[in-house]
Structure 1
Amino acid sequence: MADEIQMHGLQELKATLKDLPDRLGAKVVRGALRASAQVIRKEAQARVPVLKEPDPRRKPGTVRKAVQVRRSKKDQYGVFVGVKPLGGKQLRDFKASGGKSQNNPDDPFYWIFLEFGTAKMPAAPFLRPAFETQHPAALRRFEEYAQQRVVKEAEKLAREKGMR
């Protein structure tokens, strides 16, 4: 004799599971990537050489403040740690006040000279070593963040579908 089992909510569960990958990609993966990139950003900021001698064309800490995590414009899930350049308006305003762009103390354009060196200056890399030393910690942070958010997003999606 076969027992009859009735399950309610299978259609809602199926719809929730179908929508879950889009939600995970859009929110969880991107958030986990940003969280893991923050680990590398903090290390890079700690490694940036800071101006020790006064210079009217530079402010101490300009490059350190400009190290940021940003989204890629080309890749939907891409994030990267880099030095954010000064905005166009800020450059135009400085030039309008009579200054030359290479003398702008707020512009971190010279970060590339620090990272890779020049013919007259040895390299003092900060981005590459930050990645090399912190990528295991960044991977752990990615896993932690993703584990926490997958559960939250699944519960939230279930509530929206009326399953809870």
Structure 2
Amino acid sequence: MSKGFEITGHKKIDKLFKQLTDKVQKKVVKKAMRKGMKPVLDEVKQNVPVDTGATKKDIKIRMGKRSRNRIEVQVSSKNDNYIPKFLEFGTSKMPARPFYTPAYESKGDEAKQTTMDALLELIQEELKKGDK
């Protein structure tokens, strides 16, 4: 269920990003990535098979692993919730009814573009705050 993208080589974003402090960089990236994954979240929630609605309600944008130069954001359900995995991949007795993969395939490019736009916008906002 893990899909992703990288944002690299955007010279304007790189130049402006380097002007921010480490703390502000993390805040900006986090906000931009959450904003960027919103179209994928909406699509996943639209596609998820609904019985009681508990699985749909549990699907959220969550922060994943972090390292010095990488932040992971996921559209997922809680780790202890096995039902989405069964729905996505099926079992020996139940056919797969994928909803994560089709959502990412249809909205992945939009998510990347939205993230880049949000990143540029948020960086510029933070730089304006610093000018005051």
Query: Into which bin does the TM-score normalised by the smaller protein fall?
Result: 0.7 to 0.9
Give the 3-state SS of the residue equivalent to 1:80 in structure 2. strand
Aligned to 1:142: 115
Larger strand fraction of residues: 2
Aligned to 1:12: none
Does the 8 A contact of 2:65 with 2:71 survive in 1?
no
Aligned to 2:93: 120
Q: What displacement does 1:21 show? A: 4.9
Percent identity over the alignment is: 32
Alignment counterpart, residue 84 of structure 1, candidates 78, 98, 108: 78
CA distance in structure 2 between the aligned counterparts of 1:35 and 1:119, rounded to whole angstroms: 37
Alignment counterpart, residue 67 of structure 1, candidates 44, 59, 64: 59
C-alpha RMSD of the superposition: 2.1
CA distance in structure 1 between the aligned counterparts of 2:118 and 2:105, rounded to whole angstroms: 21
CA distance in structure 1 between the aligned counterparts of 2:131 and 2:86, rounded to whole angstroms: 51
Normalization by structure 2: what TM-score?
Answer: 0.76
Aligned to 2:10: none
Aligned to 1:156: 129
CA distance in structure 2 between the aligned counterparts of 1:158 and 1:77, rounded to whole angstroms: 27
Does the 8 A contact of 2:41 with 2:61 survive in 1?
yes
Output one character per residue of 1:118-141: Cα deviation in whole Å (capped at 9) or x when no partner: 111100011111111101111121
Q: Which runs of 4+ in 1 moved over 3 A?
A: 73-76
In our comparison, the structure showing a higher alpha carbon Rg is 1
Normalization by structure 1: what TM-score?
Answer: 0.62
Aligned to 1:9: none
Does the 8 A contact of 1:83 with 1:111 survive in 2?
yes
Could you tell me which runs of 5 or more consecutive residues in structure 2 were left unpaired when the two chains were aligned. 1-16
Q: What displacement does 1:83 show? A: 1.0
Could you tell me which runs of 5 or more consecutive residues in structure 1 were left unpaired when the two chains were aligned. 1-16, 52-59, 87-107, 160-164
CA distance in structure 2 between the aligned counterparts of 1:146 and 1:85, rounded to whole angstroms: 28
2:53 alignment partner AA: G
